[in-house]
Structure 1
Amino acid sequence: MVLYGTIVNGICIIAGSILGLFFTKIPERYKTTVMHGIGLAVILIGLQMAFSTEVIIVVLLSMLSGAIIGEFFDVEEKLNRLGTWVGSKFASADDHSGIAQGFVTASLIFGIGAMSTLGALDSGLRGDHEVLLTKSVLDGFVGLVLTTTFGIGVMFSVIPVVLYEGSIALLATQIEKWVPESLLNGLIVELTAVGGLIILAIGLNILKVTEIRIGNLLPAIVTVGFIYYIYQLV
């Protein structure tokens, strides 16, 4: 079943988030320290992914073009509006911003990264769900911790995550017909590096070191494909 890994990932996010709702009374200092730990771990993951690049100019141009497109369409604001709309259906007006923050933060942490992309590709190309199953365990735990801070908004991140991974897995079943294996392997490396920089930005925001508009960098995940293809033609 092509979507097996994706479905398990979604279930684990929901389960972790539900468990997290029972631990919202944890003292604030515990939450703060735990979030600092998560932030540092996210930074490490982002750095490891970013350093995988083999063509730094592709990563640079992807981030620049992605940022321009993201600012033009104001992706960050639209994501926040979506999170606020979701929150308005399940919480009082005072809680909307918190739910929106939880939705956006969790969606980015769970959805952007090597494990999401590579895991979904493995599911589609080879029917191997090991990467996504491993990610599911990690996401369940992280979802639990995030929910103690951000609340129920974390649970709704399952929607974009499942759509993202599921779409890649289904597309991967057909992608070999259109994309040569050598090109696909190189693209995955640069896509991982671009995702790593965005993950790094998430970690810095979690630590409140920066206030990077991460949503406005997301188009880089798409532009890297076009830029890498052009690079291969030059």
Structure 2
Amino acid sequence: MVLLGTLVNGLCIVLGSALGLFFTKIPERYKQTVMNGIGLAIILIGIQMALTTENIVIVLLSLLTGAIIGELINLEEKLTNAGEWIQLRVNANQHNKHNNIAQGFITATLVFCVGAMAVIGALDGGLRNDHEVLFTKGLLDGFVALVLTTTLGMGVMLSVIPVVLYQGTIALLATQIERFLPESFLSSFILEMTATGGLLIVAIGLNMLNITKIRIANLLPSVVTVGIIIFIYQLFI
């Protein structure tokens, strides 16, 4: 079954988030300390991912073009409005700042979707029916979802939708992707997309620590533009 790994990954996120909801009523000082710890760990994960780049120029151009597109369409505001719309209908306690669905959704989606394991695991599932990578990723995501949900709330669970759609689409189209795109392009894309996404994850950690207020969602298009830039780079260089 091509989508087995993706579905298991999604189930782990749901279960982890559901367990996390039981720990949302812990004292404020515990939550703050846990949030700081999560922020530091997320920064470390992002740095490790960012350092995998083999061409910093591609990463820089991806972030620049992605930022321009994100600001033009004001993606941050659209996602925030969507999250608030959901929050008004799902959460009766609208004033609970620790149940920010928009923040939880954006943060968890980035953490779960951006990275080599998501892409490689989905490709392995689609091309070779090998789901070991996604099974491993599912266990990791489930634990991260549990921890994130204790501080960011219900929005973390909603991230399962883009995760399943993203990985499922890659798995279903894996044969066509391999047929039309050269292996060198796929390898470079996975590498540089991981590095670009790693910097976005660093930004998440910095925001969680209240060091910065980076509009992360407006940088999200860079994860797509990195593929276009790599294509142009390989075409002319």
Query: TM-score interval w.r.t. the shorter chain?
Result: over 0.9
What do the CA deviations read for 1:14-66 (whole angstroms, capped 9, x no partner)? 11111111111212222222222221111111111111111111111111000
Shift of 1:139: 1.3
- Which AA in structure 2 matches 1:218? L
- Which of 167-176 and 72-81 deviates more? 167-176
Deviation at 1:88, TM superposition (A): 2.2
Q: Where in structure 1 are there 5+ consecutive unaligned residues? A: none
Aligned residue for 2:162, secondary structure, equals helix
Aligned partners of 1:170 and 1:113: how far apart in 2? 19
TM-score by length of 1: 0.94
Partner of 1:82: 82
Match of 1:70 in 2: 70
Structure 2 match to 1:182: 184
What is the RMSD computed on CA atoms of the aligned residues? 1.6
1:195 aligned to which of 197, 200, 224: 197
Deviation at 1:107, TM superposition (A): 1.6
* Change in 2 beyond 3 A, CA 1:86/1:12: same
1:153 and 1:183 map into 2 onto residues whose CA distance is 34
Q: Hey, what's the Cα distance between the residues in 2 that align with 1:186 and 1:198?
A: 18
Per-residue CA distance 1:135-190 (angstroms, 9 max, x = gap): 11111111111211122222111111111111121122321110111221122111
Partner of 1:94: helix, strand, or coil? coil
Give CA-to-partner distance per residue, 1:94-149, whole Å, 9 cap, x none. Answer: 35871222222222222222222222222223222122111111111111112111
The residue that corresponds to 1:160 in the other structure is 162
Distance 1:95 1:85 in 2: 15
1:182-230: CA deviation from partner (whole Å, max 9, x where unpaired): 2211221111111111111111111111111110011011111111011
User: Matched residues in 2 for 1:150 and 1:184: separation?
Assistant: 34
Q: Which residue of 2 aligns with 1:4?
A: 4
Is 2:95 the partner of 1:94?
A: yes
Structure 1 moving runs of 4+ over 3 Å: none
Aligned residue for 2:179, secondary structure, equals coil
Gaps of 5+ in 2: none
Residue of structure 2 equivalent to 1:118: 120
Secondary structure of 2:8's counterpart equals helix
AA of the residue aligned to 2:8:
V
Q: Which residue of 2 aligns with 1:47?
A: 47
Segment of structure 1 superposing worse, 201-210 or 107-116: 107-116
Q: How many residue pairs end up in the alignment?
A: 234
Q: Distance in 2 between matches of 1:52 and 1:195?
A: 11
